[in-house]
């Protein structure tokens, strides 16, 4: 039986979200492959994945723009998608911030933000106060009487954010809202999205392909690929304990090395470079019982450079160096010819200079050779 009642939230109460075996297929292409996920009320969840991973399709199914081929979706404990249920988008208690802003071109900034309050029980004075406060918070109060075509991309996105917050709903969806902005604008609006959404008390589901954006925003990150949810956990766990080479790669590695696992010690694997000189060093993995050939993925944050005369670490050669303002990022060649990129140091090491490379065991992720093969 279809649930027809409008979910009116006079005071914002964060919504839970539940996906159960959700599948979406377009002709012969499977966009979502039987995905299940629970989102707790008030959580800021970021779905991270490459183009074509299914994250946008999943968000559209949640919003009611697409209908899943099978499975069910519940918002705040009420089924909105199921075998005999398809609740209209406007009745799901959801607000959405689109990549392309989707503002009403014939309405001023003020009226765009005020639009979701049209059915509110608030008085006219309260609605005006609410809109004024939101425009002030997102920094566009001076543009209240302008129209969308008079605004920059960053200003339009601020209007879209204010409009979503004005809806006073328990769930806000973000469809790559920062992808069309320059670096400075992205950083500014990222902070505002995180702050204002959490202050509003709403649950948020945010999709992006940008790893740094995901780690900066999320309470939990869900990594998707080929329509599957590969891992969903805290940013710290995703970074330190990835369940697969794909998750490790997509969340940022400086390089991949061919190694051989020669033993275990104090909860770490002992590995040696498959080709090249140097002592053994320690690495971590969620896999158990590894021995023999393997792949090592190294986080840039876990690599330190030292002068060539230092006796610890592994011999390396600086191929390139770039000044970043806070220090220097280096490209380093190790003994087996593999490269480590974006290795940071506050000290500049010159091109073609010899160095020693020290790798933190916690930032060295080893996978068995079958899983670790480069794809």
pLDDT tens digits for range 294-347? 999 999 989 999 999 998 888 899 999 999 999 999 999 987 677 899 999 999
Q: What pLDDT is stored for residue 100 in this prediction?
A: 84
| Residue after which a domain boundary falls, among 228, 245, 262 | 245
What span, in angstroms and rounded, lies between the C-alpha atoms of 350 and 107?
57
Residues 195, 143 share a domain: yes
Residues 269, 232 share a domain: no
Residues 150, 128 share a domain: yes
What is the percentage of the chain residues whose pLDDT exceeds 70?
Answer: 93
* Domain presence at residue 6: no
Q: What pLDDT is stored for residue 277 in this prediction?
A: 59
| Residue after which a domain boundary falls, among 245, 279, 297 | 245
Residues 179, 264 share a domain: no
If you average pLDDT over residues 130-155, what whole number do you get? 92
Domain range for 182 is 17-245
Q: What pLDDT is stored for residue 5 in this prediction?
A: 31
CB 39 within 8 A of CB 16: yes
Closest CA to 161 of 220, 153, 54: 153
Residues 230, 340 share a domain: no
Closest CA to 241 of 127, 343, 363, 346: 363
Q: What pLDDT is stored for residue 179 in this prediction?
A: 83
Residues 212, 336 share a domain: no
pLDDT-derived band at 276, boundaries 50, 70, 90 = low
* Domain presence at residue 121: yes
- 3-state SS assignment for residue 325: coil
Residue with tokens 């949640």: 62
Instruction: Count CA atoms within 13 Å of residue 183 on its CB side.
Output: 1
* Domain presence at residue 5: no
- Opening angle at CA 48, ends 342 and 195, nearest 5: 90
| Residue after which a domain boundary falls, among 186, 214, 245 | 245
* Domain presence at residue 294: yes
Residue 191 reports pLDDT greater than 80: yes
For the chain, helix, strand, coil in percent to 5 are 30, 35, 35
pLDDT tens digits for range 172-184? 999 999 887 888 8
pLDDT-derived band at 121, boundaries 50, 70, 90 = low
Domain count, the chain: 2
Q: What pLDDT is stored for residue 51 in this prediction?
A: 92
Residues 196, 87 share a domain: yes
Strand partners, 95: 172
Of the candidate ranges 144-153, 226-235, 260-269, 319-328, the one whose mean pLDDT is the lowest: 260-269
What span, in angstroms and rounded, lies between the C-alpha atoms of 28 and 30?
7
Residues 258, 234 share a domain: no
Residues 187, 156 share a domain: yes
- Opening angle at CA 178, ends 57 and 166, nearest 5: 85
Q: Which two tokens stand for residue 288?
A: 């158990």
Of the candidate ranges 1-5, 96-100, 305-309, 324-328, the one whose mean pLDDT is the lowest: 1-5
* Domain presence at residue 280: yes
* Domain presence at residue 4: no
Residues 291, 207 share a domain: no
Residue 112: CATH number of its domain: 3.40.50.300
* Domain presence at residue 218: yes
Report if pTM > 0.85.
Answer: yes
Q: What pLDDT is stored for residue 11 in this prediction?
A: 52
Q: What pLDDT is stored for residue 1 in this prediction?
A: 35
Mean pLDDT (the chain) is 89
If you average pLDDT over residues 19-26, what whole number do you get? 97
pLDDT-derived band at 204, boundaries 50, 70, 90 = very high
Q: What pLDDT is stored for residue 278 in this prediction?
A: 62
Residue 372 reports pLDDT greater than 70: no
CB 92 within 8 A of CB 140: no
Residue 215 reports pLDDT greater than 80: yes
Q: What pLDDT is stored for residue 279 in this prediction?
A: 73
Q: What pLDDT is stored for residue 153 in this prediction?
A: 87
Residue 77 reports pLDDT greater than 60: yes
* Domain presence at residue 299: yes
Residues 241, 199 share a domain: yes
Residue 214 reports pLDDT greater than 90: yes
Residues 156, 131 share a domain: yes
Strand partners, 40: none
């Amino acid at each position: 039986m279809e649930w027809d009642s409008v979910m009116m939230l006079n005071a914002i109460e964060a919504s839970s979200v539940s996906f159960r075996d959700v599948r979406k297929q377009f002709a012969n292409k499977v966009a979502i492959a039987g995905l299940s996920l629970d989102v707790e009320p008030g959580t800021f969840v970021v779905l991270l994945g490459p183009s074509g991973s299914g994250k946008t399709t999943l968000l559209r199914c949640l919003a009611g723009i697409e209908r899943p081929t099978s499975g069910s979706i519940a918002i705040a404990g009420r089924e909105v998608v199921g075998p005999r249920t398809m609740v209209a988008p406007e009745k799901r208690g959801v607000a959405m911030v689109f990549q392309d802003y989707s503002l009403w071109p014939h309405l001023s900034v003020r009226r765009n933000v005020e639009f979701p309050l049209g059915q509110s029980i608030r008085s006219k004075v309260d609605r005006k106060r609410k809109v004024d406060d939101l425009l002030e918070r997102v920094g566009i109060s001076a543009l209240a009487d302008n129209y969308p075509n008079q605004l920059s991309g960053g200003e339009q996105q601020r209007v879209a954010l204010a409009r979503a917050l004005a809806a006073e709903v328990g769930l806000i969806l973000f469809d790559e809202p920062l992808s069309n902005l320059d670096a400075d604008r992205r950083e500014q609006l990222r902070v505002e999205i995180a702050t204002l959404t959490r202050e509003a008390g709403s649950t948020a589901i945010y999709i992006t392909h940008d790893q740094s954006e995901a780690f900066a925003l999320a309470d939990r990150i869900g990594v998707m690929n080929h329509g599957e949810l590969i891992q969903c956990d805290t940013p710290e766990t995703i970074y330190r304990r990835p369940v697969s080479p794909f998750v490790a790669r997509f969340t940022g590695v400086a390089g991949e090395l061919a190694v051989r696992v020669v033993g275990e010690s104090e909860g770490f694997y002992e590995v040696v470079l498959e080709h090249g000189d140097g002592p053994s060093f320690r690495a971590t993995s969620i896999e158990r019982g590894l021995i023999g050939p393997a792949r090592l993925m190294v986080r840039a944050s876990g690599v330190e450079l030292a002068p060539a005369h230092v006796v610890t670490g592994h011999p390396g050669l600086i191929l390139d160096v770039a000044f970043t303002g806070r220090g220097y990022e280096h490209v380093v060649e190790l003994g087996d010819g593999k490269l480590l990129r974006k290795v940071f140091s506050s000290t500049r090491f010159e091109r073609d200079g010899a160095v020693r490379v020290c790798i933190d065991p916690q930032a060295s992720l080893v996978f068995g050779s079958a899983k670790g093969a480069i794809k």
